[in-house]
Chain A
Amino acid sequence: MNNLKEGFRYGLISYGIILYLNLLGIPLNFGDIVLTIFSLLIGLLSFAFLRKRPNHLRKNLRNTLVQGLIIGLVSGLGLSIVTYIFASLQKDGINVAQVFAQVKPEHTGALTGLTKEEVLGDVSVLPGLLQLTLLFTFAGFIGSALTQLPVEKLRKQFDSKSGLKTISRALFVLPFFFYGLFMLLKVEGVQIAGTEENNLGMLFIFLFIGAALFALRAVEPGRQKSILVILLVVLMLLLPHFADLKQNAILGVVGIFIVMGIGLNIVVGYAGLLDLGYVAFFAVGAYAYALLSSPESYVVLNLPGFEGVNFWAGLPIAIIIGAFAGFLLGVPVLRMRGDYLAIVTLGFGEIARLLVLNLRDYTGGPGGVINIPAPILFGMDLGNPRDILYIAMAFGLIVTFFTVRLRDSRLGRAWIAMREDEDVAQAMGINLVAIKLLAFASGAAIAGMAGALYATRQVNIFPDNFALDVSINVLSLIIIGGIGSLEGVVLGAIVLIGLPEILRTVDEYRIVAFGALLVTMMIVRPEGILPSTRRKRTLHVHEDSESTSTK
């Protein structure tokens, strides 16, 4: 029974992911092959979930296969129900796109193998949905079956014969090769879409992914991580190309918030300094770049001969000014802890906004700064949403790198020790003043970086862009994702920033949804969706002690 429940839970998580992608309008991007992509994803999720379980469960063949089937079935049925509702509404002439901007009749058609006219007409979507459910179930099953490959044995065999090792590596390249071929054919106008070819295509992709996973597990364990990183980078590079303008714009905002989240995570997650005025540094970075670059800004207009800097020169300046602002605001709050610190920083955040609002002569006041130039690289204008997304990704990678290095260093240890017990940390010879200021400054530097990117993305910035809710959003996303965890920041931003962007049209209700989500999270999973291992342990102390005492 427990077994079914676990499968059901994984199924619901997979369903959540699929639904999110669905509302983001992925079916429109991929047209007829969306089912292939989704099935593939279900297979991968099933594989990932089931592989992570403890050994004795993973080795149980029947158990694993049943769970795989449930994962596929739950997510398939879930998506079918939603799609059926959308289709019925669309048949009745209700425009679902008013609420979910991306859900159009074509969207429903892509999922059910019908055309737009058929969806709106008399053709039933049920056969298509049945096919969808079956495909997902099959995919979940395949994913679970993949976990049963005797990889350890195979790896040993590969290691003993260097020739086979090469083959296993070659297998790893295959999927990309075939995928490229697949896309090429599509571009050339060869119709692979349509239901039958669709399934065939899926079978192919499945074989390739299987081979990739196989190859991944056949290489030495030490190398797996780097291969995963490469896979992820490739995925990230491909992603913006498949997305349309609107999706790229949404993902761009998500990216900027991920960068900010990583920065605030240093201050709140590692150093344990509750900062509610983080938006101040975001504003500082944005205005620093805006004032130095916009031809209409006070600085450019009043400095004779100064034409304004370009993005790549403005960026480091924004970062440095941001860090300096963090340092300055850090000094007066050095001796404050917990609630007091939170209240004071909250005030700072508002002061920053009021300053840019009221220093009319310099910042343009409510009129903001307009015509902020886009980043230009080798003569290419990178101002469009897709390139902004790429820049945001690059920034995300850079700050992740810096953060991980700092976290694992002497400084990171000192931060965490300070979070655990400030007095004892000081008694261990840690200079609290230095590490607090470093935490504030590095967090603020990252916010400054995000701010500069935000300014160039928005072209025109106004004081209202830097209100309290930015601070709260960033804080919420790290709380929901899991305080102190970098993966959590990414996931938190996708859920918390991406979802409201999808539901833009029902803007008024998103704050309500936000609140409900936060409350639910605090009750159900206070450590966040993907907590850092340490934080998870802190928040479940009582359950631990209970479970040990009952045993």
Chain B
Amino acid sequence: MVVLSSQGVTKKFGGLVAVNNFDFELPQGMIVSIIGPNGAGKTTFFNCITGFYEIDEGIILFDGLLLNGKSPDKITRMGIARTYQNIRLFANMTVTENILVGAEPHLKSFWFEAIFQTRRVKLEELEAQQDAQRMLNFVGLKGIGDQLARNLPYGSQRRLEIARALASKPKLLLLDEPTSGMNPQESAELMRFIRNLRDELGITILLIEHDMRVVMAISENIYVMDFGTKIAEGTPNEIQRNPRVIEAYLGRGIATGLKTQTAKTKASNQ
């Protein structure tokens, strides 16, 4: 079953076509990556999915429902959560508060109930707190719930951002360069964690990632973007051998150079 799909999505900023006629399919329960050089339009595509940008052409479907024209909060409530390329936590709120804000789509109480502290509010708040504690344990941030998000080390901030996204109990999680700024050991740990998310919670995951080791190890399917267009699609093995991908990453000259070199070595071998 397809969770998320897009057909002919185009997003323009003035004369610049950031995303061009992008077709995309994300089956349920898979881990899929979007890769591409800087400025290829990956994050823009994320922003189109989450409703932060309004797309100019095409359609995006989530669970068979049209996302076009929906506001970011509605889309989050439908079951899509995301993290950001440069961490965007609520820096001056505590760790627990960050997660509670993430759990917002599941809170039902009205503001005037809070004034009278109705049973429902108390119960809901208690459950949300307990859920937040569980979430902290799950991402390995146990016992630091009262610290300000700002004061956490970098790796923990990344985890917290994922925890905040998970607090909305999403069906689909969009991770924008989750391993950026991490050392190899931390990224390996994060990869295990992401796989766990899929295996244990059944969340479909869409990644933007630059670290090729991570991408190749974790992805079940990869989309490659360059200048807003999809230039390749396939399993990690297929992508690694795709000449257009190598060209996009290394530049035409080097790519041809590589090609001729391989041709030469082949020739010399023969």
B114-A411 in contact (CB<8A): yes
Bound Cα distance A17, B100 (Å) = 40
A424-B50 in contact (CB<8A): no
A430-B90 in contact (CB<8A): no
From known contacts A410-B109, A424-B84, A428-B76, infer whether A417 and B117 are also in contact, taking CB-CB under 8 Å.
no
A429-B73 in contact (CB<8A): yes
From known contacts A406-B114, A409-B111, infer whether A429 and B168 are also in contact, taking CB-CB under 8 Å.
yes
B105-A421 in contact (CB<8A): no
B115 interface neighbour in A405, A426, A427, A538, Cβ under 8 Å = A405
A438 interface neighbour in B71, B101, B111, Cβ under 8 Å = B111
From known contacts A420-B90, A438-B111, A538-B92, infer whether A428 and B104 are also in contact, taking CB-CB under 8 Å.
yes
A421-B111 in contact (CB<8A): no
CB contact list, A418-450 vs B, under 8 A: 420-421, 423-432, 438
B88-A421 in contact (CB<8A): yes
Range of interface residues on B (Cβ < 8 Å): 20 to 34
Interface residues contributed by chain A, number (CB under 8 Å): 30
Contacts of A535 in B (CB 8 A): 92
Bound Cα distance A438, B112 (Å) = 11
Contacts of B71 in A (CB 8 A): 426
Contacts of B92 in A (CB 8 A): 416, 420, 534-535, 537-538
From known contacts A409-B121, A426-B73, A428-B168, infer whether A414 and B104 are also in contact, taking CB-CB under 8 Å.
yes
A431-B90 in contact (CB<8A): no
B50-A427 in contact (CB<8A): yes
B97-A413 in contact (CB<8A): yes
A424-B90 in contact (CB<8A): yes
Contacts of A413 in B (CB 8 A): 93, 97, 100-101
Contacts of B164 in A (CB 8 A): 428
Contacts of A438 in B (CB 8 A): 111
Q: Does B227 contact A (CB under 8 A)?
A: no
A405-B114 in contact (CB<8A): yes
B104-A424 in contact (CB<8A): no
B150-A537 in contact (CB<8A): yes
Contacts of A537 in B (CB 8 A): 92, 148, 150
Q: Does B201 contact A (CB under 8 A)?
A: no
Which residue of chain B lies nearest to A538 when distances are taken between CB atoms in the complex?
Answer: B92
A405, A414, A431, A541 interface centre (most CB from chain B within 10 Å): A405
Contacts of B107 in A (CB 8 A): 410
Q: Does B159 contact A (CB under 8 A)?
A: no
Q: Does A402 contact B (CB under 8 A)?
A: yes
B148-A414 in contact (CB<8A): no
A405, A410, A424, A430 interface centre (most CB from chain B within 10 Å): A410
Question: Smallest distance from the beta carbon of B86 to chain A beta carbons, Å?
Answer: 11
Mask of A183-194 contacts with B, CB within 8 angstroms, 1/0: 000000000000
Bound Cα distance A535, B93 (Å) = 10
Contacts of B73 in A (CB 8 A): 426-432
A430-B101 in contact (CB<8A): yes
From known contacts A410-B107, A411-B114, A537-B92, infer whether A427 and B101 are also in contact, taking CB-CB under 8 Å.
no
From known contacts A410-B114, A426-B71, A426-B72, infer whether A416 and B148 are also in contact, taking CB-CB under 8 Å.
no
Bound Cα distance A408, B148 (Å) = 17
B104-A420 in contact (CB<8A): no
Q: Provide a sorted-by-A list of 23 A–B residue pairs whose CB atoms are within 8 angstroms.
A: A410-B107, A410-B114, A411-B111, A413-B93, A413-B97, A417-B90, A417-B93, A420-B93, A421-B90, A423-B88, A424-B84, A425-B101, A426-B72, A427-B50, A427-B76, A428-B104, A428-B105, A429-B105, A430-B104, A431-B73, A534-B92, A537-B148, A538-B92
Q: Which 10 A-B pairs have the closest CB atoms?
A: A409-B114, A429-B76, A429-B105, A420-B90, A411-B111, A417-B101, A429-B104, A426-B72, A405-B115, A424-B88
Which A residues have a C-beta under 8 Å from some C-beta of B?
402, 405-406, 408-414, 416-417, 420-421, 423-432, 438, 534-535, 537-538, 541
Which B residues have a C-beta under 8 Å from some C-beta of A?
50, 52, 71-73, 76-77, 82, 84, 88, 90-93, 97, 100-102, 104-105, 107, 109, 111, 114-115, 117, 121, 125, 148, 150, 164, 168
Apart from the given pairs A414-B104, A420-B91, A534-B92, 20 other A-B contacts in the complex at a CB distance below 8 Å: A405-B114, A410-B111, A411-B114, A412-B114, A413-B93, A413-B100, A414-B101, A416-B90, A427-B76, A428-B101, A428-B102, A428-B105, A429-B76, A429-B77, A429-B104, A430-B101, A432-B73, A535-B92, A537-B150, A538-B91
